[in-house]
Structure 1
Amino acid sequence: MIYLELLIGFALLLAGGEFLVRGAVAVARRLEVSPLLVGIILVGFGTSLPELVASVKAALAGAPGIAIGNVVGSNICNILLILGATAVIYPVACPRGALLRDGSMVVAASVLVIALCYSGWLDRSEGLILVVLVVVYAVGSYLIDRRSQNAARTIHEAEVELVEPLAGSLWTGLAVTAGGIAAVILGAELLVDAAIELAEAFGVDDTVVGLTVVALGTSLPELATGLVAAFRKQSDIALGNVLGSNTFNLLGILGTTALIKPIPIPASLLGFDLWAMLGATLLLFVAAVTGWRINRQEGVLFLALYVGYIVILVSPGLHSALEMH
C-alpha cells in the first residue's frame, strides 16, 4: 500500500502540475495578461506548487525533516538530475544576463537560508523575511524585464510558449486550473503520508525520505518541463525554470511553511545536505559561465554527482562520516 500511495501521489503531482499550469496560462491569455508576467508568476509558481503543498503538509504533520528536506533535496535534484538530463539530450544555453541576475539570486538565497538555519529553527519572523524577499524579487524582475527585451525576459516569455494551448472558454481554463490544484494537493497528501510510513517501516530518518523520495516526486513538473524543452532544442528554458524554481523553493516555500509552523532544523541537514545544495548551486554557476552553456559532458557529470549523492543518503555510515562538525 505504501508503494501504491507513492505511485498515485507521483502521478497526481505530475498531472496536477501540468493541468494547473495549462489552465492558469489559458486564463491569463483570455484576460490578455502579458506573457512576461505569466512566465514569471504563473509558470514558476505552478511548477513549484507541489513543493509548497508537500512542505506545509509535512510541517503540520509533525515531520519537519520532510518539510525542509523536500526543499533542499528538490534544489539539488533540479540542478544535478534535471539540468543534467536536459544537457545530455541537448546542451543548455546559459544567457549571460539571465544567469548573472537569476543565478546570483539562487546563490544568495542559498547562503541566506543556511545562515538562518544555524539558529536551529526557521521561525515566523524569518519566514516573513523570506516571503518578503521573494515578493520583492518577483516584482523587481517583472519591472526590470518589462522595460527591456533582455535574456531573462526572452526566457520567461518562451516558458509560456512551451505550454500547450488549451482550447475552450475562460471557464474551461478556470476549471482545469482548479482541477490541477486539487490534484496537486491530493498528490502531496498521499506522497507525504507514504513518506512518513516509509521512514517508519525502514527505520530511517524522515529527513532522508524528504531529500530523496519526496524531493523527486515534487520535482516531476520541473523534470517534465526540462525534457520537453530539451527535445524542442529550447534548453535555455530549462535553465530559467530551474533558477526560478530554486529561488522560489528557498524563499517562498520555506518562508511560507515557517510562517504557518516554525521548522526545527535537523542536524544532518546542517552537517551535510545544505552544503551539498550550495555546492551544487555553485557548480551550476561555474559550469554555466565557462562557455555560457552546460554541455553534454557536464550534464553527465551532474547526473553522476546526483547518483553519488543518493548513494551517500542511503548509506547512513557514509552520510554521517561526511557531515561537517
Structure 2
Amino acid sequence: MTYILLIIGFVLLIKGADFFVDGASKIATSLRVSPLLIGLTIVAFGTSAPEATVSIVAALEGSAGVTIGNIVGSNIFNITLVVGIGALILPLKVESETIRKEIPFTLLAGVAMLILLSDITLQGSASNVITRSDGIILLLFFAIFLYYIFEVARNSRNQLETVPQDKSSWGKNIFYTIVGLAAIVFGGELVVSNASKIAISFGMSETLVGLTIVAVGTSLPELITSITAAIKKETDIALGNIVGSNIFNLFFVLGLTSVISPLAVENKIFVDVIVMNILTIILLVFSRTNFKIGRLEGTLLTVSYIFYMVFIILRN
C-alpha cells in the first residue's frame, strides 16, 4: 500500500504542477504582473508549501534534524537538480535585472543561516541552537524581501500590456491555480510520508532521511513545476520559482519553525550549509555568464547533486 500511495503522490504532483503553471501564468498576464514575479512569489510559495508543512510538524515533534536537513537539502536539490534539469530541457534565460538581484539575496539568506548556526564559534555557547530570537530575525528578513518584491511588481506593471479576459476565463484560471496548488501540496505530502517510511525501513538515520528522502520529496513540486514551465517556455517562472523557493525556505520556513520550537543543530549540518552557499555562488556566476544557464551549466549542476548525494550517504 505504501508504494501505491507513493505513485499516487507522483501523479498528483505532475498534474497539479501542470494546472498551477497554466493558471498562475495566465493570471499574471491579465494582471500585468510579469511571469518572473509570479514565479518568485505565488509559484515559489505554493511549491514550498510541503517544506513548510513537514518542517513545522517536525519542529513540533522535536525532530530538529529533519527540519534543518529538509530545508538545507531542499535548497541544494533546487539549485543543482531542479535548475540543472530545467536548463537541460531548455536553456534558462536570465535577462531580468530582478533575477540578478534575487540570487544574491538567496546567498545573503544562506550566509545569515550559517551565522545564526554558529553559537559555539561566535559566542562560546555550550551548543549550537537556532533560537526564537534567531527565528524572528529571519522572519524580518523575509518581510524585507516581500516588500522589495511587491515594489518591483508595482513598478513593472506599467511596462506590460493589459490582456483583456472575460469572466469565464478568470474563473477557470483561478480554479486551475487552486486545484493545482492543492494537488501539489497533497501529492507532496503523500510522497514524503510514504518515501520516509520506506527509507526508515531500510535503516536510514533521521538526519540522512531529512537531507535526502524528505528534502527530495518536498522539492518535487519545484522540480515538476520548473520542468513544466521550461517545457512551456516559461523560463522566468522556472528560475524565479527556484530562487523564490530557496529564499522562502531559509527566511520563512526556518524562521517560523524556530519561533515555534528552538532547533538544536548537529555539527555535520555545517558542511551542508557551506555546500549550499558555494552552490548558490556558482548559480550566481552561471546566471551572469551570457545571462543564461545553458545545457553545459545544467549538466554540471546535475552531476554536482549526484556527487553530493554520494558524499552524504558515505558520511552518514
TM-score range, shorter chain: 0.7 to 0.9
Q: Taking structure 1 as reference, are residues 196 and 242 closer, same or farther at Cα in structure 2, changes over 3 Å only?
A: closer
CA distance in 1, matches of 2:265, 2:14: 28
Q: Say whether residues 1:276 and 2:308 are aligned partners.
A: no
Q: Taking structure 1 as reference, are residues 59 and 8 closer, same or farther at Cα in structure 2, changes over 3 Å only?
A: farther
Corresponding residue of 2:64: 64
- The C-alpha deviation readout for 1:184-240, integer Å capped at 9, x for no partner, is 554455445445544543333212112222222222222223223333344343222
Identity %: 39
Corresponding residue of 2:309: 310
Corresponding residue of 1:226: 226
Describe the SS at the equivalent of 1:219.
helix
Corresponding residue of 2:123: none
CA distance in 2, matches of 1:184, 1:294: 26
Corresponding residue of 1:115: 115
Corresponding residue of 1:323: none
Q: CA deviation at 1:280?
A: 0.9
Corresponding residue of 1:286: 285
Paired residues for 1:1-325 under 5 Å: 1-15=1-15, 35-36=33-34, 38-95=38-95, 97-119=97-119, 120-148=128-156, 183=183, 186-194=186-194, 196-270=196-270, 272-315=271-314, 319=315
- The C-alpha deviation readout for 1:108-131, integer Å capped at 9, x for no partner, is 001001111223222222212212
CA distance in 2, matches of 1:178, 1:231: 21
Determine if contact 2:39/2:244 at 8 Å carries over to the other structure.
no
Q: CA deviation at 1:288?
A: 1.6
Unaligned runs of 5+ in 2: 120-127
Describe the SS at the equivalent of 1:267.
coil
Unaligned runs of 5+ in 1: 321-325
CA distance in 2, matches of 1:74, 1:50: 11
Q: CA deviation at 1:279?
A: 1.2
CA distance in 2, matches of 1:185, 1:71: 16
Describe the SS at the equivalent of 2:146.
helix
Q: Taking structure 1 as reference, are residues 177 and 92 closer, same or farther at Cα in structure 2, changes over 3 Å only?
A: closer
TM, length-normalised to structure 2: 0.81
CA distance in 1, matches of 2:137, 2:97: 26
- The C-alpha deviation readout for 1:82-133, integer Å capped at 9, x for no partner, is 1111212222212261233101100100100111122322222221221222
Determine if contact 2:107/2:277 at 8 Å carries over to the other structure.
yes
Q: CA deviation at 1:57?
A: 2.1
Determine if contact 1:121/1:264 at 8 Å carries over to the other structure.
yes
CA distance in 2, matches of 1:99, 1:38: 12
CA distance in 2, matches of 1:237, 1:20: 11
Determine if contact 1:85/1:303 at 8 Å carries over to the other structure.
yes
Determine if contact 1:77/1:219 at 8 Å carries over to the other structure.
yes
Q: Which moved more, 1:181-190 or 1:305-314?
A: 181-190
CA distance in 1, matches of 2:89, 2:25: 27
Give me the CA root mean square deviation: 3.4
Q: Taking structure 1 as reference, are residues 285 and 88 closer, same or farther at Cα in structure 2, changes over 3 Å only?
A: same
Q: CA deviation at 1:304?
A: 0.9
CA distance in 2, matches of 1:15, 1:123: 39
Name the amino acid aligned to 2:206.
D
Q: CA deviation at 1:251?
A: 0.7
- The C-alpha deviation readout for 1:40-97, integer Å capped at 9, x for no partner, is 4322211211211121122223322221211111111111111111212222212261
Describe the SS at the equivalent of 1:203.
coil
- The C-alpha deviation readout for 1:150-205, integer Å capped at 9, x for no partner, is 9xx98xx9xxx9xxx9x968777777666556555544554454455445433332
Q: Which moved more, 1:8-17 or 1:128-137?
A: 8-17
Q: Which moved more, 1:68-77 or 1:214-223?
A: 214-223
Describe the SS at the equivalent of 1:35.
coil
CA distance in 1, matches of 2:76, 2:255: 19
CA distance in 2, matches of 1:229, 1:16: 13
Q: CA deviation at 1:267?
A: 1.9
CA distance in 2, matches of 1:236, 1:39: 7
Q: CA deviation at 1:262?
A: 2.1
Describe the SS at the equivalent of 2:268.
helix
CA distance in 2, matches of 1:184, 1:273: 27
